[in-house]
Structures are given as structure tokens and as C-alpha cells.
Structure 1
Amino acid sequence: MTRTRIFLRTIAAIVACGSFTPGTGSISAALSAPTDTGAGLNISPLRIEIESTQSGATVLVANRATRALPVQTRLFEWTQEGGEDVYAPSTALTISPSIISIPAGETQIVRLIRKSPATAGEKRYRLIVDQLPDPTLAHSGTAEARIRFNVPVFIDRDKAVPESLAWAIGPDGLTVTNSGGATAKIVRIDAKKANGAPIELQRNSLRYVMGGSMISWPVANACSLGPVTITVQMDGRTVDATPRTTCN
């Protein structure tokens, strides 16, 4: 049976975990002060990696609100098509528990458990943690603030061929192609002309490029810029590169 592929859309307040921390994440998500609004969830870590020798991982979901919060956790397969992220429901990992009510001030442990042995190559998923609506708080004309966490999950990354990035600039703007096997996390890019003048890149925020994928950043009049140099903040390090031109 063909699974429906979907793009996850923002329907409430969203925290795209991993999108603001350049490192791999640790059990250190900042805890907010107690709140009556209900939007008092925190989770850690902000990025999950299950190596080939590990049977699973744990996630801490903390409720800093002053009332119990219902929460649902789901796993999605994470791929890229045409440079865009695509998610499809997955059962590759057992998630326990998947639906919970976390008492005020309490922290729930959620376990992600393998269903199959490790294999060569990196597998990518997203763990979606949603605060569910509380029907007891439903009021006509009132919207309940809710949180969604979207956490990257990498399995068997230690068995993947390292990333191998090739940069180019042309009619489609700035592009990067990853011919390796591991996903690269690109936090920010600073681009300059030969005279040192900065170049504005659209969508210049955290993005991932998977092995065998290409992503792009639109650039106005890219083929008229001449030689371009870039400084890339990625995976906790800084890389300087000179994109090749693909302009005719």
C-alpha cells in the first residue's frame, strides 16, 4: 500500500528543533517558567542520533505549565525531493508512550526503540511531538496556544559515507550537491562578490542537505555577479568555498 507523502505544515506555534543550535544537541533544552497558557512544553535533546551499536534513544518531554498537558509523539520518514523536505508516516521505530498526559511540572521519558538491526547507510526521520488540544479549555472565539516540536532523528549515521559537498552558482542561484552519504547541516552562508560586497541569499537559515540531494538558495541576478566566495557555518565548523559557475 502506498503511503501518503505529506509536507508538515505549521498549524500552531512551532519549534523546529535543531534549527537554532549549531551543534548536535544535548539534554539541555532551556526550561521555561511555569505558565497558565498551556504552551509550556520543552524537550531534549534537540537532535537524536542512534548509532549502529545502540538499540534506541530516549527523549525527555517536560511540562512547565500549571496544568496537565496532553501530548502525542509520531515518527515520520524524512526524505528530500527537488530540494524540499518531504515527510511520510513511519513505523520504523517503536515510540513508547505515543500518547500521554503529562502532569504539571513533571517530565516524561519517551523511548525510541529499534525494530531491526543496523544496516549500512544513514536513515533519516523526524520525531513530531504535538501538544494536543484540551477540550475542557475550548471557548468560543478563543484559540489555544499549542506547541509542535519537529526533531531530526538519524539512525546508523556512523555507518554512512561522510558528506561530500560541491557548490555552484548559476541561474538557479547558489546550489550545493551532496554526493556523500551523510546529511550535512548548514546553519548559515555568507556570500561575497570579488570586491567584498555582500550578496543577499534568500532562505538563508538552517537547512539540511541529504546524501544524494541538492538544495538551492535563490540569488537575484546570480549570473551577473562574477566570481563569488562563500563562508558556510555547518555542523559546528566553518568552511570557505568558491562556487563554480554554471552560467552560460
Structure 2
Amino acid sequence: MIRTVAVLSKLAMIVAGGSFFSLGLAHAARADEPSAAAAAPPADRGARLNIAPLRIELEAAKTGATVMLTNTSARPLAVQTRLFAWSQEAGEDRFAPSSALTVSPSIISIASGATQIVRVLRTGAASPGEKRFRLAVDQLPDPSLAQTGEAEARLRFTLPVFVDRDKAEPTVLAWRINGTRLELANSGGRTARIMTVALKTTSGTPVPLERNSLRYVLGQSTISWGLASACVTTPVTITAVIDGQTANAQVSPNCG
């Protein structure tokens, strides 16, 4: 799925408290917590889709989960759902189409004010180790708008899906600074969700980071942030919100 992976990894943005990626759509949303609703731009004539929940966890004892899609706009919405396997390579997210779980229905027309239930079901028994996916919910073009010559903004929302997380080894995190990059390595088995990261030198001077937004570090993976300035030469204190908890660490930079 090389072409799709390349596009997914290049397009990222932050909108209304969530983090976002796109497959060439005009507007795309990675619908992470805390926002449960996502609104289209004004050009989309009020199309609006509410999604709940925004994170799916299938523990070993569970055979499936449900997602509620509610159309709060004044017109019907056509929606497609698809599953992508989620991995990380060289610190970047990678996505590939997957049939490891059953997602039904896959193509939906949701009437104005109506709610559609989407089911995410196992295709096999539970097994050790966390499996990670993204459930993509695409708003499809409205043919009636195309006939009138009006442009329609398309939306994509993606929800993190974790399977057998309760059968995985705990998260084990380690920070380091190599040159002009801050790195976070996860040698454990469970994904960690990084909400915010702040760096300060021993004198209290903030060290700005590039791309300082919601991130995930998968098990047995490493992610990184660029330092907005040259490599610092004194120990740095790191304060981060990880899985809803504030954590602190001190690292000595390696500027070699």
C-alpha cells in the first residue's frame, strides 16, 4: 500500500483539539479525544458528523465494539468506513489497508438527524500483544452538488483502534536528545499517548519544539521532535502529559 502510506505520512494538521491526517481529501481529521464532533468548512453547506466514541479498545474478552455516527446537518450524508493497520517507521506513522477486523457497514447513507451504528468485530481469537489500527470514516461526495457545479469539501475522521491491549507488556519510555532532536523510545508493548511536551534548561529557559502536538509512540517504536534551536549543552528537564498523567524526566544532551 505504498502510495497510500506515502500520502498519509505527509499530510498532518491540528484542528479543534484533535490531530489530523489525510488521503488527499480537502479536509481531514484524526478524531482523537476530547472532541466528539467535527464540523465541515462553510463551503460544505453545513455538513456535520458527530462520532462517538473517539477511541476503540477491544480487550481480550470482547468480540467487538460499536461506533455511533450522527448526522446533525440538514441534508443526508454518504459515508464510507475503512480499516488501516497502524505502525511506525523511522519515527513516522505508517498506514496500510487491513482486513484483520470486520467493519460493517462499509458504505452508509445517513439521513439528516439520524444515527448509524458501525460495528468493529474480531475475525479471530485474542492473542498476546497489542494490535493497532485506525478506523477511517470518509464523507463521500454529494452527486447533487456536483451537478450544480458547486465544490464540496470532503472530510476524513480517523479513530485509534487498539486490540488486546490488556494482553500486552506495559509501556516503557526513555527520553534522549541527539543533536537537534528530542527522542522518545518505547521499549514496552503498549502504545503511549503524548498530549504535550515542554523542555527547560537548568536555568529555566524554555527549549521550543517543532511539531509539538498530540502524538502516539507505539510499542517497540521511537518518535522524535525537532528542537527549534541548536542542540542545548546543559541538562534539560522534560515535562510531558502521557496517557493523562504528568511525567518529568531529566536528560543530558548528546551534541556530538
TM-score by length of 1: 0.90
Residue among 164, 169, 184 paired with 1:176: 184
Opposite residue 29 of structure 2, the aligned amino acid is V
**How far apart are the structure 2 equivalents of 1:196 and 1:139?**
60
Instruction: Report Cα offsets for 1:65-86 as digits up to 9, x if no partner.
Output: 1111100000000000100000
Deviation, 1:14, is 1.9
**After superposition, where does 1:69-88 map in structure 2 within 5 Å?**
69-88=77-96
Q: What is the SS of the residue equivalent to 2:203?
A: coil
Question: Is 2:36 aligned against 1:29?
Answer: yes
What is the alpha-carbon distance in structure 1 between the residues aligned to residue 37 and residue 156 of structure 2? 16
Q: Where does structure 1 differ by over 4 angstroms across 4 or more consecutive aligned residues?
A: none
Question: Contact conserved, 1:38 with 1:146, CA < 8 A, in 2?
Answer: no
Alignment of 1:192 onto 2:200 = yes
Q: Provide the identity percentage.
A: 54
Number of residue pairs matched? 238
Distance 1:139 1:197 in 2: 57
- Could you report, residue by residue, the CA deviation over 1:24-64 in whole angstroms, capped at 9, with x for unpaired residues? xxxx82487xx971521111111111000000100000101
1:41 and 2:55 are equivalent in the alignment: no
Q: Is 1:115 aligned to residue 115 of structure 2?
A: no
Q: Secondary structure at the match of 1:242?
A: strand
Richer in helix (by share): 2
Change (3 A) 1:140 1:30: closer
Distance in 1 separating the partners of 2:150 and 2:46:
13
One-letter identity of the residue aligned with 2:28 = I
Q: Deviations over 1:195-242 (max 9, x none)?
A: 101110001000011111111110144433411001001111100111
Q: Does structure 1 residue 166 correspond to structure 2 residue 180?
A: no
How far apart are residue 145 of structure 1 and its match?
2.3
Q: Is the 8 A contact 1:75 1:93 kept in 2?
A: yes
Range with bigger deviation, 212-221 or 56-65: 212-221
The aligned residue for residue 16 of structure 2 is none
* Counterpart contact for 2:240–2:246, Cα < 8 Å: yes
Give the residue type in structure 2 aligned to 1:230. I
Q: Which moved more, 1:215-224 or 1:89-98?
A: 215-224
Go from structure 1 to structure 2 and tell me whether the alpha carbon gap of 1:147 and 1:124 turns closer, same or farther (over 3 Å shift). Answer: same
The residue that corresponds to 1:15 in the other structure is 29
- Whether the 8 Å contact between 2:233 and 2:253 is mirrored in structure 1 is no
The RMSD of aligned alpha carbons is 2.1
Deviations 1:120-158 (A, max 9, x none): 000000000000001111157632122210110000000
Of stretches 222-231 and 71-80 in structure 1, the one that deviates more from structure 2 is 222-231
Match of 2:19 in 1: none
CA distance in 2, matches of 1:82, 1:218: 14
Q: What is the CA distance between 1:16 and its match in structure 2?
A: 1.4
Structure 2 CA distance, aligned partners of 1:131 and 1:199?
A: 40
Match of 1:25 in 2: none
> For residue 102 of structure 1, what is the amino acid of its counterpart?
I
Q: Distance in 2 between matches of 1:230 and 1:222?
A: 17
> Which blocks of at least 5 consecutive residues in structure 2 are unaligned?
12-21
Change (3 A) 1:141 1:31: closer
Amino acid at match of 2:31: C
1:170-189 superposed Cα distances (whole Å, 9 cap, x missing partner): 21411011000001100110
Determine the C-alpha separation between the residues in 1 that align with 2:232 and 2:123: 52
Specify the alignment match of 1:101 in structure 2: 109
- Unpaired segments ≥5 residues, structure 1: 22-27
Letter aligned with residue 13 of structure 1: H
The residue number in structure 1 matching 2:15 is: none
Q: Which letter maps to 2:73? A: A
